Structure 1
Amino acid sequence: MKLNKEQWSWVFYDWANSGYGIIVTTAVLPIYFKGIAQASGVSAANATAFWGYANSLGTLLVAVLAPFLGALADYQGYKKRLLTGFASLGMVMTLGLALMPASQWQWLLVVYILSVLGYSGGNLFYDSFLTDVSDDRQMDQLSSVGYGFGYLGGVIAFILFMILQLTHGFGQMSSIDVARWGFVLAAVWWVVFFLPIQRNVHQRHSLTTTRAPLKQSWQRVWTTIRHLQQHKVLAWFLVAYFCYIDGVDTIFTMATSIGLDIGITSTTLIMVLLVVQLVAFPFSILYGWLANRTSTRTGILIAIIVYLVICVDALFLRSVTDFWILAVLVGTSQGGIQALSRSYFGRLVPKERSSEFFGFYNILGKFSAVLGPVLVGIVTQLTGQSRIGAASLSILFVVGLLIFWRIPRGMADNS
């Protein structure tokens, strides 16, 4: 598939905010926050708890607002404005992380929560633009290219940060300064690569603007919820998606803890993270090609089965080599299952109401990382083995697989 200028501009938004995802959320800010909080007299346990509360609050805000914001974005001219507004909030707040005094850890959390709101809200409108920049035949490959380049952009941004860290800012920076410049890097990366989508991507499917769009948006959301039986296939897909994406997200979020349990060093874990991102780049695109040659349904089923293999293989996880094998397997299908799920859903939704429906999709994506960690935690405590806890996630993939299998064939394929 040859992408046009508008499609490449859409793809590069995933590249743009990938620096935030890996530098701020995953690798740097959790450690930075804990360090400055403890330096201010906060206990390690409380620092971890406050970090967890901040993430939960940010997630909750986005999840609650997503359907309403999506419904508002469906009116002509609103989708681009909302994308720009939330992305700008994320960029400014990411830069604000670098400007917060080390003693103001409470305000640092407030700024972080606002950055999460900007990041997640921007992703909602970015996802829904998929229906504007592609037709049904192109969605699989375009969505896959978007995820693939997002992973590649994250790797490059993180490597630039690692150069700063390993050289101590070329001999000029403390560890705190390096972390702050990492936040600046993530913000600048976001700003620069946001420009193409801002200039070149346009809303093609929309509802006629009313005099009271806020009121009408609320009414549309509640009407959709009350009449969800009219969208049975879409609703069943969301249930299946909730189950298997919960497993996907949990494997990613719990991998560090499981790795530490079997004696893997933090440096090795960082290397594993980079390799997973690198592997995910070509394999995300490969899944788009596979869906184009077979069907979107087939691609999603293959990805779920790969994750079932990962869960079973976790039972035999005892060495660094075993962990590397599982990590590479995750990299092969992580981007593919996310990309094809997005394009599958994009075909099911009414195009002129895509943002509203992607709001519900966004809710399940946010709340999906709730059940899985609890399941892993309970099984780990009962057995005393984190690898058995990881294997228990196979339940979620089996349930998701069975529900998805029962969705009629051809409902949202690229034919």
Structure 2
Amino acid sequence: MKYTKQERDWVMYDVGNSALVLFNTSVVPIYFNAINTAADSAELVTAWANAQTVASLVVALLMPILGSLADFAGNKIKFFLGFFLTGLVLCFAQAIPMGAMPFLVVYVVCTIGLNSSMTFYDAMLPDVTTDERMDTVSSSGYAWGYIGSCVPFIVCIALILGGPAALGLDMLLCVRVSFVIIGVWWLAFTVPLVRAYKQRYAKALAPGETMGGEIAKTIRGLGDTMRRIAHDKAILLYMVAFFFYIDGVHTVISMATTYGTSLGLDSTALILALLVTQFVAFPSAIAYGRLAGKYGTLRMIIIAVVAYVCIVLFAAFYLKTEVEFWILAVAVGLFQGGIQALSRSYFGKLIPKERANEYYGFFDIFGRYASVMGTLLVSVVTSLTGDASLGVLSIGILLIVGLVMLIRLSRIKGMA
């Protein structure tokens, strides 16, 4: 498909931010484990899960209010820039040598900036394309994000694995330099979007009303928005389903490397396996967008949720060796991009376009609280049992609940 300039620039932001997402889910947990040598494997999983929980909770609390304010003309790009720059500065800050707990605090704030910018980025989708092209454009964002993020990631991995021997550098120093490389990449692919983006759909201020008054009105009006959502059965069912099934997706992505490390698997093999996930996810995400056009967006989401149930069961009961982790990585790659892209675009089709940020703000509550619930569940179950496998298994219940909600939605909307 030939992209418009706005579609292309929008897709490129996924190329930029995905580099940090990949680095955070693969190298950063191992780096945190390396600088936190006093903790045992269960404590490492718990600490990392708690950090993910805090970051998700903050974003979930911020987005409804800020999302509603961003729907006014010209605001969306301002909020996007504010959180992007926060994440970028803290990405560079992680290159500074520090102890495990200070690093975790910096990581959490960086993650808040990254994830918040992505909420406003998602809400830009109705502005840059049409309903007919939304599945394909959204899928292309994830697809090119997966393959594009591999470029700086490979450079960083080559530096981390080869730097100590070839250049005589300390491996931890190589990881810190990698944060700078990732930050520069993220910045380079954000500039085109900032320059080209135009907000097509926006709310207007009432005559004589100021933005300060609108902030107070927005806080009071959150209940009205919730009532509008509650009265639209299709949107409500979908958001509840999303709340449960995306939990499994986010938790598998964020906890995979930490879980593999806790099983005693080689860290280099884990990183390379997750790199394979990116290459598999590239064509899979594009294929998912095309299959959605042929067989229906909702049907393809349901297929992906069923696949994730199988992935969680495999991880909990069979994952013991590096080969099995590679199998898991390929399986995740087949469905990861598709379910994220179609979840974003399907919601964009259901909501009123002029209130995209407001609705995506609540959508993000469901997504972020799901992340809070998933990582917290893994943390609690792992802490109580001392077995990370049982923590992973616990999220399978949430995926099944999400699947049931999606099936109920299909009876109302069909599989389109």
Of 179, 182, 195 in structure 1, the residue corresponding to residue 178 of structure 2 is: 182
Moved more, 51-60 or 199-208: 51-60
After superposition, the Cα gap between the structure-2 partners of 1:175 and 1:287, relative to the gap in structure 1 and judged at 3 Å, is: same
Q: Partner letter of residue 25 of structure 2?
A: T
Say if 1:344 and 1:413, in contact at 8 Å, map to a contact too.
no
> How far does residue 339 in structure 1 lie from its aligned partner after superposition?
0.6
**TM-superposition CA deviations, 1:155-192 (whole Å, max 9, x none):** 22210101211221751532232122111111101111
Give the aligned partner of residue 114 of structure 1.
Answer: 109
Give the aligned partner of residue 407 of structure 1.
Answer: 409
Cα distance in 2 between the residues matched to 1:94 and 1:47: 21
Matched, 1:26 2:21: no
Q: Partner letter of residue 138 of structure 1?
A: R
> How far does residue 26 in structure 1 lie from its aligned partner after superposition?
2.5
Cα distance in 1 between the residues matched to 2:387 and 2:180: 40
Matched, 1:220 2:245: no
> How far does residue 356 in structure 1 lie from its aligned partner after superposition?
1.0
Of 130, 151, 154 in structure 2, the residue corresponding to residue 156 of structure 1 is: 151
Say if 2:53 and 2:372, in contact at 8 Å, map to a contact too.
no
Q: Partner letter of residue 182 of structure 2?
A: A
Q: Partner letter of residue 113 of structure 2?
A: G
With structure 1 as the length reference, what TM-score do the two structures score?
0.88
After superposition, the Cα gap between the structure-2 partners of 1:309 and 1:185, relative to the gap in structure 1 and judged at 3 Å, is: same
> How far does residue 240 in structure 1 lie from its aligned partner after superposition?
0.5
Cα distance in 2 between the residues matched to 1:8 and 1:218: 35
Give the aligned partner of residue 97 of structure 1.
Answer: 94
Say if 1:238 and 1:361, in contact at 8 Å, map to a contact too.
yes
Matched, 1:198 2:197: no
Q: Partner letter of residue 140 of structure 1?
A: D
Instruction: Give unmatched runs, 5+ long, in structure 2.
Output: none
Moved more, 302-311 or 44-53: 44-53
Say if 1:348 and 1:412, in contact at 8 Å, map to a contact too.
no
Q: Partner letter of residue 16 of structure 1?
A: G
Give the aligned partner of residue 6 of structure 1.
Answer: 6
> How far does residue 93 in structure 1 lie from its aligned partner after superposition?
1.9
Moved more, 72-81 or 50-59: 50-59
After superposition, the Cα gap between the structure-2 partners of 1:108 and 1:324, relative to the gap in structure 1 and judged at 3 Å, is: closer
Of 62, 65, 70 in structure 1, the residue corresponding to residue 67 of structure 2 is: 70
Say if 1:76 and 1:203, in contact at 8 Å, map to a contact too.
yes
Of 346, 366, 369 in structure 2, the residue corresponding to residue 367 of structure 1 is: 369
Say if 1:310 and 1:329, in contact at 8 Å, map to a contact too.
yes
Say if 2:85 and 2:113, in contact at 8 Å, map to a contact too.
yes
Cα distance in 1 between the residues matched to 2:414 and 2:365: 21
Moved more, 244-253 or 403-412: 403-412
Cα distance in 2 between the residues matched to 1:196 and 1:71: 25
Moved more, 86-95 or 135-144: 86-95
Matched, 1:125 2:120: yes
Say if 2:143 and 2:285, in contact at 8 Å, map to a contact too.
yes
Moved more, 352-361 or 207-216: 207-216
Question: Which runs of structure 2 are paired with 1:15-414 in the superposition (5 Å)?
Answer: 15-23=15-23, 25-33=24-32, 35-36=34-35, 43-44=38-39, 53-98=50-95, 100=96, 102-103=97-98, 108-168=103-163, 171=167, 173-209=169-205, 210-212=209-211, 213-260=214-261, 264-314=265-315, 315-373=317-375, 390-408=392-410, 411=413
Identity %: 40
Q: Partner letter of residue 296 of structure 1?
A: T
After superposition, the Cα gap between the structure-2 partners of 1:15 and 1:172, relative to the gap in structure 1 and judged at 3 Å, is: same
Cα distance in 2 between the residues matched to 1:378 and 1:37: 20
After superposition, the Cα gap between the structure-2 partners of 1:185 and 1:214, relative to the gap in structure 1 and judged at 3 Å, is: same
> How far does residue 223 in structure 1 lie from its aligned partner after superposition?
1.8
**TM-superposition CA deviations, 1:267-324 (whole Å, max 9, x none):** 2111111111211111011100000112101111111122233344444445443333
After superposition, the Cα gap between the structure-2 partners of 1:166 and 1:265, relative to the gap in structure 1 and judged at 3 Å, is: closer
Moved more, 162-171 or 191-200: 162-171
> How far does residue 376 in structure 1 lie from its aligned partner after superposition?
5.5
> How far does residue 253 in structure 1 lie from its aligned partner after superposition?
3.4
After superposition, the Cα gap between the structure-2 partners of 1:60 and 1:375, relative to the gap in structure 1 and judged at 3 Å, is: closer
Aligned residues: 407
Say if 2:156 and 2:181, in contact at 8 Å, map to a contact too.
yes
> How far does residue 230 in structure 1 lie from its aligned partner after superposition?
2.0
> How far does residue 394 in structure 1 lie from its aligned partner after superposition?
3.5
